[in-house]
Amino acid sequence: MDAPSPLDELELAAGLGRLYSLMRSLSLPRDLSMTTVSTLATLERRGPCRVTELAGLEGVTQPAMTQVVSRLERQGLAERRALPGDRRVVAVHLTAAGRDDLARRRAGQAKRLAGLLAGLPASDRAAIAAALPALDRLAGAAAGVPSPPASGECA
């Protein structure tokens, strides 16, 4: 397989950036920061995580993640619990309310996206659907998840 040229990589990066911007624009409500929503999604996907692990995964400092987790706890979306094997170690857990909040956000985003997709030709919708497995592998590679995705629990 041929390696992409630098121009192709720039075009891919720009296109993925536009896709990211699109998905951000479809994200409502905007009562939580993108980092906060991403943290909830990480907890859902990976399971309980230590604050330092979450900070690394989300690309923020440990003190910033401590603030995010404290806000999530105040809102009832996450909670800190001692790990069963080592009571000195605390992991952040997604609560049922946090899981429900994520589901509501995704449903709203999907509804707004469906409206946009409906305006595209069937061939474009099929091309987007066909690209999803490759995009999942790309996201997994960025997150350090082996392909095919394995259970990637933090704690």
Higher pLDDT, 111 or 151: 111
3-state helix, strand, coil in the chain (%, to 5): 65, 10, 25
Query: Which tens digit of pLDDT belongs to each residue from 71-96?
Result: 999 999 999 999 887 788 899 999 99
Residues 6+ away with beta carbon under 8 Å from 26: 109, 112, 113
> Phi and psi (nearest 5°) for 125?
-60, -40
Query: Which tens digit of pLDDT belongs to each residue from 5-37?
Result: 776 999 999 999 999 899 888 888 889 999 999
pLDDT of residue 155: 62
Tell me the DSSP string of 58-86.
Answer: HTS-HHHHHHHHHHHHHTTSEEEEEETTE
Query: Which tens digit of pLDDT belongs to each residue from 98-148?
Result: 999 999 999 999 999 999 999 999 999 999 999 999 998 998 888 776 655
pLDDT of residue 84: 80
Supply angle C-alpha 5, 6, 10, rounded to 5: 120
pTM of the model: 0.79
